[in-house]
Amino acid sequence: MAKILVIDDDAMVRFSLKSVLEHAGHEVVEAENGVDGLSKITGQSFDVVVTDIIMPEKEGVGTIIEMKTRFPSLPVIAISGGGPDGYTGYLETARALGADGILEKPVTPEIRLDTVEACLP
C-alpha cells in the first residue's frame, strides 16, 4: 500500500483518482491546488504525487519544480487535459522539468492505476 497525494482543482477528478487508487489498496490525501499540496507534503511522507497542471493559486509546473527541488526522489505524475485552448504541450514541459510520468485527460481508471503503480518504489 502506498500513500499518494492527489492535487487537482477539479473535485470530480480528485474523487475519481481517489476512488481508483483506494480501491487498489492505496491511501490517498487530496489537495485543491499547488499551495495546498505543498503544505500537505510538509510534515507527511508520500510515495508518489499526482498533480494537475492548470490550477489556480499555484499551477502544476511550479508545483513540480518545487517538489523536485525539495524532494528529488519523490515520484511526481503530471495530469492535464490542456488549457482552455486544449493545448497539451504542458505535459511535455512537466516531463522536461522532472515529472516521472504524464497522463492526458480524459484517462481510463486502468491507465491511471498502471501509471501510478509504475512510479512506486
- DSSP code, position 42: T
- Where helices occur in the chain by DSSP H, the ranges are 11-23, 34-41, 60-70, 89-96, 109-118
Neighbours of 13 (CB within 10 A): 18
pLDDT of residue 46: 97
pLDDT of residue 92: 87
Q: What is the pLDDT along the chain (121 residues), one digit of tens a residue?
A: 999 999 999 999 999 999 999 999 999 999 999 999 999 998 899 999 999 998 999 989 999 999 999 999 999 999 988 665 666 688 889 999 999 999 888 877 888 889 999 998 7
Burial of 49 (0-12, 13-18, 19+ CB in 10 A): buried
Question: Does the domain spanning 3-118 belong to CATH 3.30.450.20?
Answer: no
pLDDT of residue 85: 64
pLDDT of residue 33: 96
pLDDT of residue 90: 85
- DSSP code, position 43: T
- Please state, in angstroms and rounded to a whole number, the distance separating the CA atoms of residues 93 and 117: 22
The domain segmentation of the chain, as residue ranges, is 3-118
pLDDT of residue 83: 62
Residues belonging to the chain: 121
pLDDT of residue 52: 94
Residue 66 phi/psi, 5-degree rounding, is: -65, -40
